[in-house]
């Protein structure tokens, strides 16, 4: 989510600008539409204010004068390696620039190395709703009561529950580790074992961590953040200096402090 918030700010540079041309350099990133149809659907459209839900970026478009078709909405999912770049026209094309939206003021480029997800084009609101139908509330905006209810409705391990996009939309692997470390809760705990105090602390720490990370457009990796120590050869907890442990939970690499986050 913090990364997508940063990409939303990049996309804002195209707000109110008219697409002069769309160049699809790799149609594999398009979902449910071919390159020619995609280019035709967006040429001469105006990009409207982008918004984010979870890990999805939505860019509505506005119709050009006298356009006959309803304006579509771009829905972009970035996966592990996708991003948006605002570039000058004469800036050299990157090897992983898959789609380029050309405006008079510059180019918005969708760049993705692994192409695990990609770009959808919804021609009406029902298609937008369908693509987002399985997502839970956005993790940055959910209130404490709904957070408690959704997280504890089934008995399961806590970290996979936090990362389940149908429970909460937006939390990835590193986000979940950071939140759990800040809340001093073991990632292997069962959701059924959480006290009201645990849930309240978890919600507060999630909101605060996301507030800072969304503003930065990434999860900060400073010395006071768990994330800042993930790749160190001798990983130590930035709070108590104990050796950090790494294990796999729900198929994902998980970093935690066994002292600050006892089982």
Give, for all 263 residues of the chain, the pLDDT tens digit: 899 999 999 999 999 999 999 999 999 999 999 999 999 999 999 999 999 999 999 999 998 655 556 789 999 999 989 999 999 999 999 999 999 999 999 999 999 999 999 999 999 999 999 999 999 999 999 999 999 999 999 899 999 999 999 999 999 999 999 999 999 999 999 999 999 999 999 999 999 999 999 999 999 999 999 999 999 999 999 999 999 999 999 899 999 999 999 98
Judgement on whether residues 239 and 215 belong to the same structural domain of the protein: yes
The three-state secondary structure class of 1 is coil
Q: Return the closest-CA partner of residue 150 out of 212, 214, 203.
A: 203
Report yes or no on 189 lying in a domain: yes
Task: Convert the pLDDT of each residue in 141-193 to its tens digit.
Answer: 999 999 999 999 989 999 999 999 999 999 999 999 999 999 999 999 999 99
Longest alpha-carbon distance in the chain: 66
Helix (H), strand (E), coil (C) string for 177-219: HHHHHHHCCCCCCEHHHCCHHHHHHHHHHHHHHHHHHHHHCCC
Domain that holds residue 247: 144-256
Judgement on whether residues 74 and 14 belong to the same structural domain of the protein: yes
Judgement on whether residues 12 and 112 belong to the same structural domain of the protein: yes
Judgement on whether residues 174 and 108 belong to the same structural domain of the protein: no
Q: Strands 106-112, 245-249: parallel, antiparallel or unpaired by DSSP? A: unpaired
Q: Return the closest-CA partner of residue 14 out of 120, 112, 105.
A: 105
- Nearest-angstrom CA–CA distance, 259 and 94: 45
Judgement on whether residues 59 and 162 belong to the same structural domain of the protein: no
Report yes or no on 139 lying in a domain: no
Report yes or no on 137 lying in a domain: no
At 23 the pLDDT is: 98
For residue 192 the two structure tokens come to 């059924």
Judgement on whether residues 174 and 237 belong to the same structural domain of the protein: yes
The number of domains in the chain is 2
Judgement on whether residues 73 and 168 belong to the same structural domain of the protein: no
Residue 140 CB contacts under 8 Å (≥ 6 apart), including other chains:
1, 170, 207, 210, 211, 214
Helix spans in the chain (H):
2-11, 35-42, 125-132, 144-151, 158-163, 173-183, 196-216
CB hemisphere CA count around 132 (13 angstroms): 25
Judgement on whether residues 125 and 148 belong to the same structural domain of the protein: no
Instruction: Residue 245: give its domain's CATH number.
Output: 1.10.8.50
Whether 187 contacts 176, CB under 8 Å: yes
b/e map 33-64, b = 16+ CB within 10 Å: bebeebbebbeebbbbebebbbbbbbbbbeee
At 65 the pLDDT is: 58
Whether 55 contacts 169, CB under 8 Å: yes
Report yes or no on 262 lying in a domain: no
Judgement on whether residues 93 and 202 belong to the same structural domain of the protein: no
Instruction: Residue 8: give its domain's CATH number.
Output: 3.20.190.10
For residue 157 the two structure tokens come to 């391990």
Judgement on whether residues 119 and 176 belong to the same structural domain of the protein: no
Report yes or no on 138 lying in a domain: no
Report yes or no on 171 lying in a domain: yes
Which of 132, 166, 182 represents a domain boundary (last residue)?
132
Whether 131 contacts 169, CB under 8 Å: no
Judgement on whether residues 116 and 172 belong to the same structural domain of the protein: no
Report yes or no on 263 lying in a domain: no
Termini Cα distance of the chain: 28
Whether 79 contacts 116, CB under 8 Å: yes
pTM listed for this prediction: 0.90
Which of 78, 104, 132 represents a domain boundary (last residue)?
132
Q: Return the closest-CA partner of residue 172 out of 162, 182, 183, 181.
A: 162
Report yes or no on 48 lying in a domain: yes
Judgement on whether residues 119 and 156 belong to the same structural domain of the protein: no
Which of 104, 132, 160 represents a domain boundary (last residue)?
132
Task: Convert the pLDDT of each residue in 45-66 to its tens digit.
Answer: 999 999 999 999 999 999 865 5
Residue with tokens 């707000």: 15
- Nearest-angstrom CA–CA distance, 207 and 162: 13
At 68 the pLDDT is: 53
């Amino acid at each position: 989510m913090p990364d997508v918030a940063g990409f939303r700010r990049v996309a804002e540079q195209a707000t109110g600008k008219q697409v002069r041309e769309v160049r699809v350099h790799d149609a594999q990133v398009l979902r449910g539409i071919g390159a020619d149809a995609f280019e035709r659907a967006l040429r001469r459209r105006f990009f409207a204010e982008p918004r984010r839900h979870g890990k999805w970026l939505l860019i509505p478009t506005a119709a050009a004068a006298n356009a006959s078709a309803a304006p579509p909405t771009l829905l972009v999912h970035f996966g592990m390696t996708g991003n948006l770049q605002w570039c000058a026209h004469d800036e050299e094309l990157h090897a992983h620039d898959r789609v380029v939206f050309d405006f008079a003021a510059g180019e918005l480029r969708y760049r993705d190395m692994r192409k695990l997800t990609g770009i959808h084009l919804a021609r009406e609101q029902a298609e937008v709703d369908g693509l987002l139908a399985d997502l839970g509330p956005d993790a940055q905006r959910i209130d404490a009561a709904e957070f408690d209810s959704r997280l504890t409705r089934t008995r399961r391990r806590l970290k996979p529950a936090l990362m389940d996009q149908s429970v909460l939309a937006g939390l990835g692997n590193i986000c979940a580790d950071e939140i759990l470390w800040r809340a001093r809760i073991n990632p292997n705990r069962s959701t059924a074992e959480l006290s009201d105090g645990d849930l309240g602390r978890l919600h507060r720490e999630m909101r605060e961590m996301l507030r800072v990370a969304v503003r930065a457009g990434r999860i900060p990796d400073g010395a006071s953040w768990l994330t800042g120590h993930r790749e160190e050869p001798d990983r130590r907890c930035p709070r108590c200096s104990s050796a950090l442990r790494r294990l796999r939970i729900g198929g994902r690499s998980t970093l935690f402090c066994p002292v600050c986050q006892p089982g």
